[in-house]
Amino acid sequence: MTVHAASAPLHRLLGQTADTVSAVRAGRSLTDLMGRVPAALRGGTKALSFQALRSLGGAEAVLALMASKPAPPEVSSLLVVALALLWPGDEPPPYAEHTLVDQAVTAARARTPAAANFVNAVLRRFLRERGALVAQAQRSPAALYNHPAWWIERLRQDWPTQWQALLAAANRHPPMALRVNARHVSVAAYAQRLVALGRASSPSADLLMGAQALVLEQPCPVLDLPGFADGDVSVQDLSAQHAVALLLGVSGSACALPPGARVLDACAAPGGKTAQLLELADLDLLALDSDARRLERVRDTLTRLHLPATGSQVALKAADARQVATWWDGRLFDAILLDAPCTASGIVRRHPDIRWLRRPEDLVALAAVQRELLDALWPLLKPGGRMVYATCSIFKAEGQRQIDAFLQRHAGEGARLDPLSPGHLLCLPDNPASSAAQPTGDGFFHALIHKP
């Protein structure tokens, strides 16, 4: 991992990262926290926070072994971050070990001067005894896999032969996948623009996604992508691109929906799938989200991409999709995309804070919301219509078991699962959104349901 923050002293980055990781452990979203970090420290803090959160379970366990009594919060948070950055793994530490220790001590002097010697002693002992301390700490599953114990057990139950691979995959860096705006430029032409800038890419091997997806050989800042500000391209994971392609029945240039089809994009924010719908088809589209502030992100996304394009009509409305009477005008939909709120357990490699923020009761509560959304929206679909249920989760309670229960509840109405439904896409090499030559897509669940 490279930290692009040469102008920011490392001790300041470590202090800011310690505060950030501590706030995550207190229940704050890393995305929200980053918006409050000073601009000069934001890039480095984000990079260090990502790495620290990927090794947080081990760092917390080993600190408990070395400290005879709990340190003050501002000291323990700094130590946890430093230990996580020194934790053995597939990647080398972001800085030389002696530099990390020295700068952590400097950060301690600035935060709690009396604790500087203690921080120095703990970190130097860890370097001397790292092998034995790590082995002892990893007797705890949370330290061994760097996920909460309940999460590990849930994966073990859902995926008895793959759970360990899934936990390992969650701690690797994700690829950077692009969605080329088909209304602006072809994938082949955009790939050539990347080549001209010295950036290699490859198209997706998944024919379901038509001709929109490219995977970069090396990630880069979004503003370095040619035409990003002009709406030529967006960043969107390969697995995430499945939902819209499945709803539209896209294969090559064909589309299952006629021009002007009435489509509901429920739970639309932040707008990636809303935009993808409009890039591929001319639609009468209603984008719905319960959070008015997040709905503004949908509007911003459409504005950057110059959507809606000619032939489409778009309405954005803030409402709870379950409360149909508050937003529906009585006209049935040809297609419904339900990208339901979920634990986001399939995208933890992109959002390493999620595993530490979620609680077992969240899964129960979110599964209930998903069930309510499915039952509320199904009656709004025309006979002959199609609905895609999607979650960025690898927990079966939010995927296969959820849709199996739905089909049982609505069997008398003829609800039918399309055989093209990919079901659970795991962040593993057999993910259909991937190929032997490409990194894996994120973990998702997609089901296409037909109404007779």
Whose tokens are 């452990």? That residue is 25
Question: Helix (H, G, I), strand (E, B), or coil: what is residue 43?
Answer: helix
Q: How far apart are CA 285 and CA 274, in angstroms?
A: 9
Please report the pLDDT score of residue 207 as a whole number.
52
State mean pLDDT over 21-27. Answer: 96
Does the pTM surpass 0.75? The reply is yes
pLDDT band at 70 (very low <50, low <70, confident <90, very high): confident
Please report the pLDDT score of residue 311 as a whole number.
81
- Contact predicate 11/95, CB 8 Å: no
Q: In the beta sheet, which residues pair with residue 284?
A: 262, 313
Q: pLDDT tens across 285-342, in order? A: 999 999 999 999 999 999 999 998 778 899 999 999 999 999 999 999 999 999 999 9
Q: pLDDT tens across 143-166, in order? A: 999 999 999 999 999 999 999 999
The two three-digit tokens of residue 31, written as one number: 């995305």
State mean pLDDT over 422-445. Answer: 74
Told to judge if 220 belongs to the known catalytic residues of this protein, a careful annotator would answer no
Length of the chain: 452
- Contact predicate 179/97, CB 8 Å: no
Please give the C-alpha separations between residue 133 and each of 57, 123, 124, 138, in angstroms, as whole numbers: 13, 12, 12, 9
Choose among 74, 85, 83, 89: nearest CA to 121. Answer: 83
State mean pLDDT over 402-422. Answer: 95
Please report the pLDDT score of residue 310 as a whole number.
75
Instruction: Give the rounded percent of residues in the chain with a pLDDT score beyond 90.
Output: 86
Radius of gyration over every alpha carbon of the chain, rounded to an integer in angstroms: 23
Choose among 47, 7, 14: nearest CA to 30. Answer: 47
- Contact predicate 194/230, CB 8 Å: no
Query: Over 50: is that where the pLDDT of 2 sits?
Result: no
Residues 6+ apart with CB under 8 A from 253: 210
Beta strands in 156-212 (DSSP E): 177-180, 201-203
Q: pLDDT tens across 241-270, in order? A: 999 999 998 654 467 899 999 999 999 999
Q: How far apart are CA 238 and CA 158, in angstroms?
A: 23
| DSSP code per residue over 268-325 | -TT-HHHHHHHHH--EEEEEEES-HHHHHHHHHHHHHTT-SPTT-EEEEEE--TT-GG
Q: In the beta sheet, which residues pair with residue 264?
A: 286, 336
Please report the pLDDT score of residue 4 as a whole number.
44
Q: pLDDT tens across 191-224, in order? A: 999 999 999 998 876 655 556 899 999 999 999 9
Beta strands in 154-277 (DSSP E): 177-180, 201-203, 213-216, 233-235, 261-266
Query: Over 50: is that where the pLDDT of 1 sits?
Result: no
Mean pLDDT for the chain?
92
Whose tokens are 């959507």? That residue is 307
Q: How far apart are CA 389 and CA 377, in angstroms?
A: 11
Query: Over 60: is that where the pLDDT of 347 sits?
Result: yes
Phi, psi of 291 (to 5 degrees): -110, 110
The two three-digit tokens of residue 87, written as one number: 């934790």
Tally Cβ neighbours within 10 Å of residue 50: 18
Residues 6+ apart with CB under 8 A from 371: 402, 405, 406
pLDDT band at 398 (very low <50, low <70, confident <90, very high): very high
- The active-site residue out of 255, 267, 342, 392 is 392
Domains of the chain: 10-146 (1.10.940.10), 237-450 (3.40.50.150)
Please give the C-alpha separations between residue 155 and each of 60, 114, 239, 294, 391, in angstroms, as whole numbers: 22, 43, 19, 30, 16
Beta strands in 353-409 (DSSP E): 381-391
